[in-house]
Amino acid sequence: MPYRKVSLASGEIYHVFTKSIAEFKVFNSEKDYARMMKTIDFYRRLDTPCRFSEYIESANYEKARLNPQDSERIVDIVAYCLMPSHLHLVVKQLSDGGISRFINLVLKSYSKYFNLSHNRKGPLWEGRFKNVLVETDEQLLHLTRYVHLNPVTAFLISQPEDWKYSSYTEYVGLSENKKLCNCSSVFDIDIPSYKQFVNNRIGYQRELAKIKMLVLE
C-alpha cells in the first residue's frame, strides 16, 4: 500500500478509517481480531526488531513483549474499533510521517496474515486510508462516542461494553490487560459520565444508520 502524498501534521489527532474491498469480511474469528490488535500494538513503535509475523511466531513472544513505554512511539492510539469489514482508529501522530508508516505496516501485515490463513490472493483493503483532522476537544469527545458505538449501531451487540474489539472497555475501566490506548494524555475521563454520554446516543445513532441505509437503497 503506497504512502499518502498529503502530509499529516505531528502533534495533531486524526480519525483514520479504512474498509475492505467490496465490504469483504476481514475479521471472521476472535483469532483474527486478536491478530489485528497485536499488530496495531506492535507497529505503533518507531523501532521494531523485525516483522510482526516473525515476532509473534517466536518462542519467547509473550515473555519478550515490547512495552510501548520502553521505546519511542510514532503514534498514540486515542481510540479504536474493529468491525467485521472495516476499522476506525483515532490516532495522534508523534513523529513526521508516523501515521502513514503505521497504517501502511499494519494493513500490509494483516493482509499477508489473512491471505495465508484463508488461502487467498490479492489486495484486501480499499485504496488509501481516509483521515479527518480532529480540531477541537468537543469534536474528539463526540468522535470517540461515534467510534465506540459502531458495533451497537450495526446491531452486532446491544451495549458497547459487550464488544471486545474496541477501546470502550479501556475507557470505562473494564479491561485490565488490553492497553492499546493512551487517551489519558488527551483528556480526563469521568467513567460514569462517559458511560451516560455514550449510552444516551445509542437510539439516535441507530436511527441515523437506518436513514442512511434507506437513502442508499
Q: Is residue 184 part of a domain?
A: yes
Q: For residue 104, give the C-alpha cell.
A: 501502511
Q: Please indicate, yes or no, if residue 6 is contained in any of the structural domains.
A: no
Residue % of the chain over a pLDDT of 90: 62
Number of domains present in the structure of the chain = 1
What CATH number is attached to the domain comprising 177? Answer: 3.30.70.1290
The reply to whether 1 falls in a domain is no
Identify whether the C-beta of residue 140 lies closer than 8 Å to the C-beta of residue 12: no
Q: What is the pLDDT of residue 58?
A: 59
pLDDT at 184: 78
Structural domain boundaries, residue 94: 13-216
Cell of 136: 477541537
Evaluate whether residue 8 is within a structural domain: no
Specify whether the CB–CB gap between 148 and 198 falls below 8 A.
yes
State mean pLDDT over 42-49. Answer: 80
| Entry pTM | 0.86
8 Å CB contact between 53 and 109: yes
pLDDT digits (tens, 9 = 90+) for 144-165: 999 999 999 999 999 999 999 9
pLDDT in tens, 74-127: 999 999 999 999 999 999 999 999 999 999 999 999 999 999 998 999 999 998
